[in-house]
Structure 1
Amino acid sequence: MTTVYISSLYEHHNCEIAYNPLITNTKPPNLNMQVQDQTQCSFEVTSDSILDSIYESVSDGTSSRPPSSLTAPRIPRLPVAVMEKPDYEKYYVPIFVPIGPYHFGEPKLQFVEKRKPAIAMKLFSNNKEAIKKLFEKLGEPEMVKELKSFYEESSTTEYCDKVFTKMMLLNGCFILYVINFFCGGLVEDYSELNSNEIDLVRRDLYLLENQIPFKVLKEVLRFWRIDLLEYIKRFIDLSSFVIRKRPKRKWLDNLTEIFSTNEGIGDEDEDDEEPSHLLGALHGKHSRIVKAPRRTSGPFGFKGHNFRNVNELVDVGIGFKPIKDTLSMAHIEYVKGWWGFSATVKLPPIAVSKLTRPMLLNMIAYECYCSIDDIPWVSCYVQLLATLIDHPEDVKVLRKAWVLDNYLASDQEVVKLFDEIGSDLARGSSLYLEAMYNIQRHYESRRNTLLSQLKNEYFKSPWAFFALIGALIVLFLAGVQTYFTVWNPKSTCDDLCMFLKMNHHL
């Protein structure tokens, strides 16, 4: 049997895969039928039997509580509540390439599925012996059992071990072929995928239901003796929507950094812990905690904020800057300016493109159903941006500050994106409690409010500014004239004029 499955990989020039209805995904159960069965009440049901069913649920340990992240599959299917959303197919389901068992065998995805054997052979330079060893390694009973444990049991029981092993091998080779397209180092032949298809592939590789265990990628890379984590890190950096952009710097910024004692900006706390899959690696990179700023004042009694958007903060002297050299969303910073009249909020810079929404939604789903981290940093950062961005003018301010790059059609599209994603999230600004507390204090300051009113009244229009300067000059000259009129001291010239007037009848 092993020879049959391996030979199918070699025949990559004629690799038509027949659609087999026996190895397709099972559809979710019909919830309407379940509800109907539960609502129908028989006359034979007694109160005692109902109560006994409640008592037995306690005695046998059964519970309706969902399993913890330690016992749940590390690559789960999304709940039915998410599947019933109108945008489920658009943002959670692969549209180009299936990875793993959940969407394997779907007819609309067979176009790329047929090319996977050819891609695997090109990745191994037609080395049949290497393919055979890899297949045997991934097909070991303990290995198959471990890999299947990453998925929900009902999704893998329909595949025999040989079919499942072939699926893992082809998907692992395909993912590394795509990564090699961006990072290089393995092969130079990319003829199986064109540049237009790559964007679709990148989108599909970061869907929660479209993952394979990292262990598969590690076994495939053993052929090249390349460190998997280092190789993947380069691809994650290229795929990230948080960007490492250094804006044009002024000489004052350089001088400020030289004398700055702030410890808030630092290198990422690198952690070599292996993630479960590619989406987990992307999430770990974005939620990695950098060195926290030193706490200066406690936000005790802080009840929330009442500012609405970026422009309201700009009006009271709060500016925005990007945090440099980090991909983490777990860190924002509030920096007070000179004399307390101004302040700066530093945020991780983000690039918004057509790939941003599905990646954000699937990272948020990963936080909800997979991550063992108690703090949903990505969800909180998205909600923070949804709070700050209320109008296209807010997007414009963040673009000018290098905090946001917009690759969508308009700034209004960015507003719509964060508004729609943020509306489904629970309030999480408390995770940035100290920064939000300091921003609110600055926003409520009476002094800053007066300066804001002066700025809005006279500094937004050049003509109003010149009129203000002219009025101040007139007031100054009028004051000088009044002073010399009232308190003008006598001089020797005045005495001389009086003498000449009296003696010469001037």
Structure 2
Amino acid sequence: MVPSTLRDLKPSSFSPRVVSIGPLHRQDENVQEFEGRKASYLINLIDRMNSPEEETLESCAEKAYASMEQIKSCYVWTKTYDDADIAKMMVIDACFILGFILKVHEYGESGDRKNLLTQAIIYDLVLLENQIPFFFLKEIFQYTIQKFKPNVSLIEFLRPVLDHLRLFVGDMNFQNISTNSTPHILSLLHECYKPPHDDHDKISIGNLSSTIRSAVDLDRAGVHFKPNKNPKWLMEMEVRLHRCPCFFWSWSKTTLKMPVLKVHHFSEVVLRNLIAYEQFRQTSKYITSYVFAMDMLVNTQEDVAMLIESEVLVNYMGSNEEAANMINNINKEVACVDFFYSEQLNILNEYCNGYWPKHIARMRRTYFSSPWNMIALVAGIILFALTVVQTIFTVNN
């Protein structure tokens, strides 16, 4: 269960909108209408098999009973269920998930995957409190889907859903993902964001002991933002530092390459649940680190506009202010112990604290932050020039 410190900040990010999976939200009023519709997905799945319906369901139930103690250990039980109820719940929910994803594959072929109900269900499947044990889902998958799709792995089968949940522009890492230690679908999504094993040890991980300036302030200091088009891993940030010993520091090529984030109303749901998973499980804090880095870069809607203009952020929300508020609020009550971008942060701070970037940024902030400041500066220069001309003319006469 998500702790109240996180849930109370945005309850809607942790509660299913359409369908309940597992026991924790089974009594929610808003999911009751869909409970009966799960059966149609189950029947559609079983009809694909060549064995009798009753025999298939009985075999699935036997698998649930065989793993009953392991299943029970996966939940904080808020209501008492007997073993028969739990077995029925697990079988129906596992068959629903597999039957639903089978339809998503078909929708992909017919171009109907953008159906609003389909989207809502997909986001319900990634909620931390709305899961069933992955080992049981895998067992039912092997007993059902692989009977008529023998060459498809469970990860390949889930890929359309995982792709739909993608936060960044670019391909997720589906290589070398082990399903043996994966507790649920949300964990599997988290695995897709981790760096390849060979690169993990090369990433500088440190404590978050300082901050960086906002995107607008970094831009004033001469930092350019660009999409990271060939990253070693999907969430990689890279600083390219090129010092230019000239007054016009804006000509320098100091660049922060970033993953391209897609911001929409469901982005917050995915981010909050991934962060909650990272906070209360012994796992790497990739998502938490990224959110903290973005919170430093974004203070106002002007920072969002800067990142959009630099093509490292795509905003599907109503306004830049909405996007800024989401980014600023998403890491409240969250701890960031292992920060994955400490090296990049230190390089940027060292650069910005240099003589020229610091003074050029101050000049830009003072004289170029608004049209009126620019007009006043130009007027001052003209007045100074006229004064010099008049002085020279007076002396010569």
CA distance in 1 between counterparts of 2:51 and 2:4 reads: 44
1:349 and 1:402 in contact (8 A); partners too: yes
Report what 2:275 is aligned to: 364
- Cα separation, partners in 2 of 1:299 and 1:449, compared to 1, 3 Å: farther
1:286 and 1:327 in contact (8 A); partners too: no
- Cα separation, partners in 2 of 1:451 and 1:421, compared to 1, 3 Å: same
Partner SS for 1:124: helix
Cα-Cα RMSD = 4.1
Q: 1:449-492: CA deviations, max 9, x gaps? A: 3444565647987x97x979x99xx9xxx9xxxxxxxxxxxxxx
- Cα separation, partners in 2 of 1:453 and 1:108, compared to 1, 3 Å: closer
CA distance in 1 between counterparts of 2:200 and 2:280 reads: 30
Task: Give yes or no for the alignment of 1:286 onto 2:193.
Answer: yes
Q: 1:345-384: CA deviations, max 9, x gaps? A: 12221111111112111111111223x32x3221121111
1:348 and 1:403 in contact (8 A); partners too: yes
Report what 1:121 is aligned to: 43
CA distance in 2 between counterparts of 1:359 and 1:271 reads: 23
Task: Give yes or no for the alignment of 1:159 onto 2:68.
Answer: no
Task: Summarize the alignment of residues 76-475 of structure 1 with structure 2, pairs less than 5 Å apart.
Answer: 77-82=1-6, 85=8, 87-88=10-11, 90-125=12-47, 127=49, 129=51, 131-140=53-62, 141-152=65-76, 154=77, 158-161=81-84, 163-184=85-106, 195-218=115-138, 219-220=140-141, 221-223=145-147, 224-225=149-150, 226-244=152-170, 270-274=175-179, 275-288=182-195, 292=199, 304-305=210-211, 307-324=212-229, 331-337=236-242, 339=244, 341-370=252-281, 372-373=282-283, 375-427=284-336, 430-452=339-361, 457=367
1:206 and 1:362 in contact (8 A); partners too: yes
CA distance in 2 between counterparts of 1:445 and 1:210 reads: 50
CA distance in 1 between counterparts of 2:188 and 2:109 reads: 23
CA distance in 2 between counterparts of 1:212 and 1:104 reads: 12
CA distance in 2 between counterparts of 1:338 and 1:293 reads: 29
CA distance in 2 between counterparts of 1:236 and 1:363 reads: 13
Letter in 1 for 2:187: G
Q: 1:70-120: CA deviations, max 9, x gaps? A: xxxxxxx2335555x2632x1211121000111224443221110111111
The share of aligned pairs that are identical, in percent, is: 22
1:214 and 1:277 in contact (8 A); partners too: yes
Letter in 2 for 1:177: G
5+ residue gaps, structure 2: 246-251, 390-397
Partner SS for 1:129: coil
Partner SS for 1:200: helix
User: How far apart are 1:292 and its partner, in Å?
Assistant: 4.9
Compare CA radii of gyration and give the structure with the larger one. Answer: 1
Moved over 6 A (4+): 185-190, 293-296, 298-302, 458-461
CA distance in 2 between counterparts of 1:111 and 1:383 reads: 38
- Cα separation, partners in 2 of 1:80 and 1:429, compared to 1, 3 Å: closer
Structure with bigger RCO (C-alpha 8 Å, 6+ apart): 2
Letter in 2 for 1:333: E
- Cα separation, partners in 2 of 1:319 and 1:294, compared to 1, 3 Å: farther
Letter in 2 for 1:318: V
5+ residue gaps, structure 1: 1-76, 246-266, 479-506
CA distance in 2 between counterparts of 1:299 and 1:212 reads: 32
1:120 and 1:173 in contact (8 A); partners too: yes
Letter in 2 for 1:304: S
Aligned residues: 368
